[in-house]
Structure 1
Amino acid sequence: MEKTKTIRGVNYLTRWGRGKWKEEGKLGEGLPSFVKVKQILPRPKVEDIEVEVARELEKINLPEIVKPGHMIAVTAGSRGIANIDRILKSVCQKIKEAGGRPFLVAAMGSHGGGTAEGQRKILSKLGIREENLGVPVLVSDQVVQLGCTSSGFPVYCAREAVEADGLVVVNRVKPHTAFRGENESGLLKMMAVGLGRVPGATVVHRLGPGEMARTIPEIAREMLTRLPVLFGLAIVENGYEETAIIKAIRPEQFQEEEKKLLQEARKLLPQLPVNSLDLLIVKEMGKNFSGTGMDTNVIGRWRVFGIPEPDVPHIRRIVVLDLSPQSHGNATGIGLADFTTRRLVKKINFEATYLNCLTTGFVQRAMLPMVFESDREAIDVAVRSLHMDAGQVRALLIDNTLHLQELYASETLLPELAERADLRVEKEAFPLRFSTTGELIDP
């Protein structure tokens, strides 16, 4: 027999005979305690950004590439890339020294709601402003169709880049969150999707993730034949969100060099310390942590129709508690979670979220999980839904899916973690604690 019970305005379906909600005990009763764990990740690092950029541009003989007086467009994307303002400023400065007239062009696909105002806000938050970098920042929603690929895909590019005398492509190389291929996120994707703005992003994503690995390089190659691309600057980051590699690449080498850098990026990608969990608690999701709000490479969930889920990591329940301010309400990826809070949902800009997910075609990632009034209730229900002895729950608590150097592990994981030489237990065990309004208190 089942009975509906209303608590704080939310209807819960409880099984009669198993006790009223308030009689089932407060959250944490029976749960294992948690310990702070530090992961020791590989840490190659560029010590001097400006010096490294100059060194790389010298390798490709920049003064011979840039013609005096030419207007040179440099791509500026929406991702939170470490040191991106310094990198872009250094590139533009070297172009100036070679006699060129650089400017930044917004290249972010459908991000920022696909509008000039939205794009400008995102770039400003990243420190990409004219007063900071000393060059104009051109933002609009205008594109030009350059033609079609041999397969019939239309090729779009930001008008400002098409009208420039030269184009420089700058982007981070990393594993994509929706498909696997020899080239994933990087210079080619910045061209096909970023510079393509909403129309270009729509062309790529409407084919589905199964075709993206083929489509992105094909569109980018066509753009390379039709645009005066001077060079690319590829960036790889380590697990501490630091610049690990900066590499200048000539246009004809984009595809091959990016393949090599992608393998380096995979080695440096931060991961959870175990491959099997009952519960993952994510304190904050957002576009500044991953294009999918929570990195699919970390949580082991694609939630893309027709694409099999990864074998590892295997996580039975995911709870996400909040949305970062830097996401500007874009909650793409909320559908990767099973439970969330009213606090997060109130921050969602549904227009921006839906545009992002409709453009990519990954509509499942915009679907709301179960919503509860507080952190405490969301975690409580997640634990109950496992239908297992709470004291045996294998759980991790993380700040977000980008910063995994420090996290919190349930004591049930300690035997497995103790075998790892790259992990350190930092403090004594403690129970989860909550404020009087049910918000999780930082350990």
Structure 2
Amino acid sequence: MSIIEELLKDIPVPKMIKIKQRFHAPELADVSFEVRKTLNDSNVLERISEGDNVAIAVGSRGVADISVLVRETVNAIKGVGGNPFIVPAMGSHGGATAEGQRGVLKQLGVEEETVGAPVKSSMEVVKIGELPNGLPVYFDKNAYEADKIVVINRVKPHTCFRGPVESGLMKMITIGLGKQKGAEAAHSFSFKYMAEHILDMTKISIEKTPLIFGLATIENAYDRPAKVMAIPIEELLEKESLLLKEAKSLMPKIQFDSIDVLVVNELGKEISGDGMDPNITGRYPTPYASGGPDVKRIAVLSLTEKSEGNANGIGLADITTKEVYDKIKWEKGYANALTSTVIDVIKLPMVLESNELAVKAAIKTCNALDLTKAKVVRIKNTLDIGEIWISESLLEDSRGLRDIQILSDPMEWDFNH
């Protein structure tokens, strides 16, 4: 028995109870129909002339039904005589290479065979201006040379800053279409000024490029489309700000304010840009965003295959496993961290040999007065918190919550799942 096993062998692990969290979750019945309807009702297609080459900017996040959103937009543009093509709008993601970004879109189901338009991927940019503080504004060269530009993205709260707009169309214009150089410029003064930079850089992009409209979605607590809206480019700030407020109201959450140990089964780049969404865990990589539960210890047990070794966000955990450590390709996470200037997300937490040891270490170090009554929550990942596991010590708290349903009796831990 190792010294670590000796130290942890008597740490009590509570029995866990499966519960269901219910959230207000409006959902579009027919996404294809709603995309066609908003494109027609908003009259944005009238801005496209016969023969126009139209760039459609698509990002790296796992937006629900993204291939449907893109395909319907492609078809609508073709229907008015335009020639659409896809450009990756994802800053430095995909390893900051043209083929890497093409590969990210393919993983998301966005390629010519599925959406009906070719993908033009390049890291080349054009400098289109600069802010009064000297920050340059860059723009994807393929998009810049198009006759018209459309952006498609989900609007939601960001994990590192707060502002009138956060993650959404304007951030995609600034950072996504800015590619690696644009992302680096936007992040260079820290997230303290990110909201301000996004507004100012987007204004320059609108003035200097043929941007005509955006297609925005917001998602419900179960990551399904709740609304889709075509927004004329001149109405972008007003409409996106309203959508952000609505998106925040639909966000899921762990319905316990104080947690001693949060066990996250899997970390993943496709789950959140930070591997696990700080809006859910309450653990943020910068001081410019806040919210969520007060969590003493976070243990991460695995890394998703789709992350391909990018463990961005592991630094927000306190404890992880050797399984995770062995999968990490540090350069991938470091590339993101160096671009964003946020390096805590890729620091290495304590590494334990097994899931059981990781959980016990988290309980031992949570500083609960009575470890047998530690408040423990276990989730699959931060995208999937409809059904979660809670320790018996949280059972009484759950009875006072209207949107909680008890699904099981107390059960021993299954450390393999």
Other structure's SS at 1:137 match? coil
Tell me, yes or no, if the aligned pair for 1:31 and 1:392 is still in contact at 8 Å.
no
Q: What is the CA distance between 1:147 and its match in structure 2?
A: 1.6
Which structure 2 residues correspond to residues 44-63 of structure 1 after superposition, within 5 A? 44-63=26-45
Deviation at 1:197, TM superposition (A): 0.6
- Does residue 308 of structure 2 align to residue 333 of structure 1? no
Range that drifts further, 364-373 or 116-125: 116-125
Larger radius of gyration: 1
Instruction: Tell me, in whole angstroms, the C-alpha distance in 2 between the residues paired with 1:292 and 1:24.
Output: 29
Kindly state the Cα deviation for residue 80 of structure 1 after the two structures are TM-superposed.
0.4
Q: For 1:151 and 1:23, how far apart are their aligned partners in 2?
A: 54
Percent identity between the two aligned chains: 40
Alignment: residue pair count: 416
Letter of the structure 2 residue corresponding to residue 424 of structure 1? Q
Is 1:83 the counterpart of 2:58? The answer is no
Instruction: Indicate the residue corresponding to 2:103 in structure 1.
Output: 121
The alpha-carbon deviation at position 330 of structure 1 amounts to 1.3
Alignment of 1:267-346 (within 5 A): 267-304=249-286, 307=287, 310=290, 312-346=292-326
The list of structure 1 runs, each at least 4 consecutive aligned residues, that deviate by more than 4 angstroms after superposition, is none
| d(CA) in 2 for partners of 1:202, 1:159 | 17
Tell me if the contact between 1:169 and 1:231 (Cα under 8 Å) persists in the aligned partners.
yes
The correspondence of residues 281-430 of structure 1 with structure 2, limited to 5 A, is 281-304=263-286, 307=287, 310=290, 312-388=292-368, 389-430=370-411
Deviation at 1:23, TM superposition (A): 8.0
Of 209, 219, 244, the residue aligned with 1:227 is 209
For residue 441 of structure 1, report the CA deviation from its aligned partner. 2.8
Q: Name structure 2 gaps, 5 residues minimum.
A: none
Task: Report the Cα distance in structure 1 between the residues aligned to 2:8 and 2:25, rounded to whole angstroms.
Answer: 46
- Offset at 1:107? 0.6
Residue in 2 that maps onto 1:441: 416
Q: Confirm or deny: 8 A CA contact 2:44 2:232 kept in the other structure.
A: no
TM-score w.r.t. structure 1 length? 0.91
Q: Give the one of 38, 46, 52 matched to 1:64.
A: 46
Residue segments in structure 1 that go unaligned for 5+ positions in a row = 1-5, 13-20, 434-439
For residues 67-119 of structure 1, what are the alpha-carbon distances to aligned partners after superposition, in whole Å with 9 as ceiling and x for unaligned?
00010000111000000001000000000001000000011011111011211
- Distance in 2 of aligned mates of 1:226 and 1:340: 47
| 1:323-372 residue CA offsets vs partner (Å, 9 max, x unmatched) | 11121221111110000011111111211100001111111111010011
CA distance in 1 between partners of 2:350 and 2:8 (Å): 20
RMSD: 1.5
User: Alpha-carbon deviation of 1:390?
Assistant: 2.4
CA shift in 2, pair 1:364/1:63, >3 Å: closer
- Cα deviation, residue 26, structure 1: 5.7
